[in-house]
């Protein structure tokens, strides 16, 4: 399911299972629109913590709550925003570059897997919301 205004997509990776358990497969350029260059995960964040609070100039992301649950607020700086609840290990959200993101409301057992299209570069992060607004609105 795609949100056209924000260019954000829910990705369903499916699940295969039998008496041994379940497996979910996520392949770059097939299940997600890029080959991940960086993988990290967020865990042991309390319910009151807000992570992210930034936009990226180049990096696209896919976020998957592989355990527990969390919420992701997405804003485009033009008045469009949406909140997604991530609570299934076989479902993720694709977030393109130049979109503001905030992750919050983590359950105690939450493990939020983050796949990034680019290697870490602190200079491509916009951590100030007013600076982000200026960048997306051409000011």
- How far apart, in whole angstroms, are the C-alpha atoms of residue 132 and residue 135? 5
Check if 119 is active-site.
no
Task: Considering the candidates 54, 69, 71, 88, report the single residue annotated as catalytic.
Answer: 54
- Is the separation of the CB atoms in 83 and 73 below 8 Å? yes
Q: Compute the C-alpha angle 101/4/80, nearest 5°.
A: 50
- How far apart, in whole angstroms, are the C-alpha atoms of residue 27 and residue 39? 13
What positions carry a catalytic annotation?
54
């Amino acid at each position: 399911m795609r949100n056209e205004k924000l260019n954000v997509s829910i990705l369903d990776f499916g699940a295969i299972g039998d008496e041994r358990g379940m497996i979910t497969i996520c392949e770059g350029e097939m299940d997600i629109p890029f080959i991940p260059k960086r993988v990290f995960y967020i865990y042991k964040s309390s319910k009151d913590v807000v992570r992210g609070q930034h936009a990226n100039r180049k990096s696209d992301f896919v976020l998957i709550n592989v355990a527990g649950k969390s919420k992701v607020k997405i804003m485009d700086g033009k008045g469009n925003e949406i909140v997604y609840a991530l609570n299934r290990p076989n479902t993720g959200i694709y977030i393109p570059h130049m979109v503001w993101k905030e992750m919050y409301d983590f359950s105690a057992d939450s493990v939020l897997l983050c796949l990034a299209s680019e290697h870490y570069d602190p200079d491509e992060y916009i951590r100030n919301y007013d600076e982000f607004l200026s960048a997306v609105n051409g000011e």
